[in-house]
Structure 1
Amino acid sequence: MPTNTLLLTHDVASPLMPTNQEFTTWARDDYTRHNDTLFKIQLAWDAPENEPFKSKSGYFKLIHVPTKVALWTHPKTLPDWAFKQQEINGNKNPSERSAIWYVEDIIADQYNDEPADRDEDQRPVKVPKSMNFFKKYIELQLLMFQHNAGLTASHPYASGPLNWPFMISGISFWTDNDTQKQIYLVGNIIGWWTCVVGLSVFVGIIAADLLARRRAMDPIPDSVRNRLWNNTGFFLIVWGVHYAPFFLMNRQLFIHHYLPSHLASALIAGSVLNFILSDTINYPISYATSKTRLRLATVLGYGLVLFMMFIYIAPLTYVHQD
Structure 2
Amino acid sequence: MIKRRNVYTQLHPSEDRDWNQELQDIPLSRREEKSADIQYYDEKSASQDEVFLSDPDEVLDSKKDDDKAGIELGKLKHKKIENNNYLIIKWSVIVITILAAFTRYWAIGRANKPIWDEVHFGKFGSHYLKGSFYHDVHPPLGKMLVGVGGKIAGYDGRFAFEGADYPEGMKYWIMRAWLATFGVIIIPLAYWTSLELGLSHYSSFLVSWFLIFDNGFTVISRFILLDTTLLLFTATSLHCLVMFHNQRNKPFSAQWWLWLILTGASIGAVSSTKWVGLFSVTLIGIYTIRDLWAKTGDIKMKYSTYFGHWLARIFGLIIVPASLYVLMFYVHFSILNRTGPDDGTLSSLFQYHLAGSGLQENPLKLAMGANITIRGNFLDSGLLHSHEHQYPEYSLEQQITNYKFHDDNNLFTVLPWDGAYDPEQPVQFISSEIIVRLRHNATGKFMRVWTDWDTPVSGARGYHVSAGGSDNHTESKDLWRFDIYDDLNLSPAPEHVHSLTTRFQLRHIDTGCLLASSDRRLPDWGFDQFEVWCEKNIKSNALETLWNIEYNRHEKLEPAPDRGFKRAFWRDLFRINHAMWSDNNNLRPDEDRNDPLTSKPFHWPFMLHTIRMCGWGDNEIKFLMIGNPLIWWGSTAALVIHTAMLVYYQVRMRRGVREWVKKDWEKFEFFGHSLLLGWVFHFLPFYIMGRVLYFHHYFPALYFAVINMGFVIDFALAKLNKSNQKQLVFLIMLAVLLLFWYFSPLTYGYSKPSIDLKGRKWVSGWRVYGDE
Task: Judge same fold: TM > 0.5, yes or no.
Answer: yes
Report the CA distance shift for 1:175/1:251 in structure 2 as closer, same or farther (over 3 A).
Answer: same
**Residue identity matched to 1:145:** W
Identify which range, 225-234 or 265-274, moves more after superposition. 225-234
Q: Is the 8 A contact 2:621 2:750 kept in 1?
A: no
1:152 aligns with 2:516: no
Select which of 608, 612, 620 maps to 1:168. 608
On the 8 A contact 1:176/1:182 being kept in 2, the answer is yes
1:186 is aligned to 626
Name the structure 1 match of 2:721.
291
Question: Which letter maps to 2:588?
Answer: T
**Structure 1 residues 81-135: Cα deviation after superposition (integer angstroms, max 9, x where no partner):** xxxxxxxxxxxxxxx999xxxxxxxxxxxxxxxxxxxx9xx86689886234x55
Partners of 2:563 and 2:709 in 1: CA distance: 55
**Structure 1 residue 269: Cα displacement:** 1.1
Correspondence 1:143 to 2:579:
yes
Aligned in 2, Cα 1:295/1:193: closer, same or farther, shift over 3 Å? same
Q: CA deviation at 1:299?
A: 2.2
Aligned match of 2:738 in 308, 314, 317? 308
Name the TM-score, length of structure 1 as normaliser: 0.55
Partner residue in 2 for 1:245: 685
> How do 1:222-237 residues align onto structure 2 when only pairs under 5 Å count?
222-237=662-677
Q: Is 1:209–1:220's contact at 8 Å kept on the other side of the alignment?
A: no
| Corresponding position of 1:319 | 749
Whether the 8 Å contact between 2:683 and 2:701 is mirrored in structure 1 is yes
Is the alpha carbon distance of 1:208 and 1:131 closer, same or farther for their aligned partners in structure 2, counting shifts above 3 Å?
same
Which whole-Å CA distance do the structure 2 matches of 1:126 and 1:189 have between them? Answer: 63
Asked whether the equivalents of residues 224 and 275 of structure 1 are also in contact (C-alpha less than 8 Å), the reply is no
Distance 1:269 1:45 in 2: 57
Identity %: 21
Residues in 2 aligned to 1:128 and 1:259: alpha-carbon distance in whole angstroms:
45
Task: Report the residue type matching 2:745 in the other structure.
Answer: P
What is the letter of the counterpart of residue 683 of structure 2?
A: Y
Distance 2:564 2:730 in 1: 62
Q: Does 1:269 align with 2:706?
A: no
Distance in 2, matches of 1:261 and 1:128, equals 46
Cα distance, 1:166 vs structure 2? 0.7
Partner of 1:236: helix, strand, or coil?
A: helix
Over 3 Å counting, the alpha-carbon distance change for 1:46 and 1:169 in structure 2 is: closer
Paired with 1:163 and 1:196, the residues of 2 have a C-alpha distance of 12
1:63-142, aligned counterparts within 5 Å?
A: 130-132=567-569, 135-142=571-578
C-alpha RMSD over aligned residues: 3.6
* Distance 1:173-1:49 versus aligned 2 partners, 3 A rule: same
Alignment partner of 1:169: what SS? coil
| Partner secondary structure for residue 651 of structure 2 | helix
8 A Cα contact 2:622 2:751, kept in partner: no
**1:266 partner letter:** V
Q: Which residue of 2 aligns with 1:48?
A: 412
For 2:706 and 2:684, locate their aligned partners in 1 and report how far apart those are by CA, in whole Å.
17
Distance 2:745 2:565 in 1: 48
What are the superposed Cα offsets for residues 212-271 of structure 1, whole Å, 9 maximum, x if unpaired?
A: 112211345544432221134211121111112211111110111111111011111111
Counterpart residue identity of residue 206, structure 1: L
User: Once the two structures are superposed, what CA deviation does each residue of 1:264-300 show, in whole Å capped at 9, x if it has no partner?
Assistant: 1111111121122226xxxxxxxxxx82343233223
Q: SS where residue 596 of structure 2 aligns?
A: coil
Partner of 1:196: 636
Q: Secondary structure at the match of 2:413?
A: coil
Q: Secondary structure at the match of 2:613?
A: strand
Deviation at 1:174, TM superposition (A): 1.1
Other-structure match for 1:36:
none
Residues 216 and 153 of structure 1: CA distance in aligned 2, closer, same or farther (over 3 Å): closer
Partner of 2:605, secondary structure, is helix
| Contact kept in structure 2, 1:240 and 1:261, CA below 8 Å | yes
Tell me how many residue pairs correspond in the alignment: 209
Name the amino acid aligned to 2:582: Q
CA apart distance, 1:171: 0.8
What residue number does 1:71 align with?
none
2:695 equivalent to 1:259: no
1:195 Cα offset (Å): 0.7
Q: Which has the higher helix share?
A: 2
Tell which deviates more after alignment, 154-163 or 170-179: 170-179
Shift of residue 188 of structure 1? Answer: 1.1
CA drift of 1:151 comes to 0.9
What's the counterpart of residue 179 of structure 2?
none
1:207: Cα distance to partner? 0.8
Match of residue 39 from structure 1: none
Instruction: Tell whether the 8 Å contact from 2:621 to 2:751 is kept in structure 1 after alignment.
Output: no
> In 1, distance between residues paired with 2:613 and 2:647?
41
Q: Shift in Å at residue 150 of structure 1?
A: 0.9
Q: Separation in 2 of the partners of 1:275 and 1:144?
A: 44
Distance of 2:676 and 2:408 partners within structure 1: 54
SS in 1 for 2:614: strand
Cα deviation, 1:176-225, whole Å, max 9, x if unaligned, reads: 33547632111111100111011000000011111111221134554443
Change (3 A) 1:127 1:268: farther
* CA distance in 2: counterparts of 1:44 and 1:136, whole angstroms: 25
Aligned residue in 1 for 2:646:
206
Contact 1:149 1:250 in 2 (8 A): yes
Helix, strand or coil at the partner of 1:208: helix
Query: 1:140 offset after TM fit, Å?
Result: 3.9
Q: Partners of 2:617 and 2:751 in 1: how far apart?
A: 18
**SS class of match (2:724):** helix
What TM-score, normalized by structure 2, do the two folds share?
0.25
> Cα–Cα, structure 1 residues 315 and 164, in superposed 2: closer, same or farther, change >3 Å?
same
| Separation (CA, whole Å) in 2 of partners of 1:320 and 1:136 | 46
Task: Report the Cα distance in structure 1 between the residues aligned to 2:743 and 2:563, rounded to whole angstroms.
Answer: 53
Q: Is the 8 A contact 1:228 1:271 kept in 2?
A: no
